[in-house]
Amino acid sequence: MPESNKQPHILFLFSDTGGGHRSATEAIIEALELEYKGSFTCEKVDIFKDYAPRPLNRMPDWYPYMVMAPQLWGASFRVTDGRSQARAITATMWPVAARTARRIIRNHPSDLVVTVHPLAISWILKALGKNRPPFITVVTDMVTTHALWFDQRSDAILVPTEIARQKAIQYGMPPEVVRVVGQPVARKYCIQNDAAGVDKALIREKLGWPKDKFIALVVGGGEGMGPLGQTARAIADSGLDVGLVIVAGRNERLKSSLEKTHWQVPTLIYGFTREMPDFMRAADVLVTKAGPGTIAEAFNAHLPIILFAKLPGQEDGNVTYTVDEGAGVWAPTPQRVVSALREWVNNPGLRDKVVEACRHAARPNSSIDIAHVIGEKLGLETSERR
């Protein structure tokens, strides 16, 4: 453990294997800096890339290819989801995971551990033993939460939705340690936290976007997944008076293909970008796959959502939740995306109702609430109180 006369040190465990684990970690750290600046130190560790033995250290690179077989992914999710299955997985894999877990703990002594990845929970807790620092689980799956997220030894389990909380309790988690805080997102997405308000025209001018067009922002997550290209082309060929902003993420092949396309409407194409908060503030609609982080960011940016793809099992609940909240629609084919988009373009009042539903679904203080749980565990005082 770190020396007691030093600032408390926080260890964040994550991996770039979908689910927005990195962005969630960064959002929490940002909130900690806002609330407790100068009162702590922290570090991020990628459990696969930094510590897993070969070839498992390549898992972040494999993830985009693994989810190209969505039905197989969904089947594996459902087969392994359950308390008995989770116990069997963690027990069977412990001989392999033990060395990695112990190395992480040995190399990164801390006063508190925060995990945003389900595979960095039970094995790390077992390796820490009884005389351990506080351990906080931040669940980054919005609704359909796998049993591997839930371990009774966690000192706090922070979930995005009430549905996720009920599932945690169903899996035997003590109700008093499970708290609904929302999905952690960066402050720049959260319109309610922006005292200056949002001026789309100014943001579009800065970005070089058309000012007089209804802008559809088409995104496939950080890896540019799903039928993103087909969907964007269908919108462009629909005859709608719109502009397109397409984010291909790290998918360089897709980006290159899109750049070679002759577009019928004003179209801007990006690879991986850190400007997504401004993109969401400047757009009129988000067309995307059902990733939990992207959905939560859109809620907080008050940006209506058209969902065109999902990972079976893991993201099924995200679709249902978004539709039930009235914050978006499910349109699993390019034709249905165009139909939904046409309805919002031609009926601004209908889109305004969806904007209001996004506002209602938003939890702009989620990262701050998580930071406060961490601060309470460490006995930190907020910057305002010091």
Amino acid, single-letter form, for residue 208 = G
Measure the CA–CA gap between 352 and 349, rounded to whole angstroms. 5
Exposure string of 12-50, with b = 16+ CB inside 10 Å and e = fewer, is bbbbbbbbbbbbbbbbbbbbbeebbeebbebebbbbbbb
In a domain, 119, yes or no: yes
Q: How many CB atoms lie within 10 A of CB 59?
A: 18
Q: Which residue has the tokens 């089947």?
A: 75
Structure confidence by residue, pLDDT tens digits, 175-231: 999 999 999 999 999 876 554 556 889 999 999 999 999 999 999 865 556 689 999
The total number of structural domains in the chain stands at 2
In a domain, 201, yes or no: yes
In a domain, 2, yes or no: no
215 and 260 together in one domain: yes
Phi–psi pair at 12, nearest 5 degrees: -105, 125
CATH code for the domain of 225? 3.40.50.2000
The per-residue pLDDT for 4 is 52
DSSP state of 143: S
In a domain, 1, yes or no: no
Q: What are the CA-CA distances from residue 111 to residues 45, 131, 206, 294, 368 (Å)?
A: 15, 12, 43, 31, 20
374 and 343 together in one domain: no
In a domain, 3, yes or no: no
In a domain, 275, yes or no: yes
87 and 192 together in one domain: no
Asked if the model's pLDDT at residue 19 lies above 70, the reply is no
**Domain encompassing residue 294:** 188-361
Read off the pLDDT of each residue in 240-256 and give the average, rounded to a whole number: 92
In a domain, 384, yes or no: no
Read off the pLDDT of each residue in 365-374 and give the average, rounded to a whole number: 97
The per-residue pLDDT for 62 is 57
Q: How many CB atoms lie within 10 A of CB 259?
A: 13
171 and 269 together in one domain: no
**Peptide bond connecting 60 to the previous residue in cis, omega within 30 degrees of 0:** no
In a domain, 338, yes or no: yes
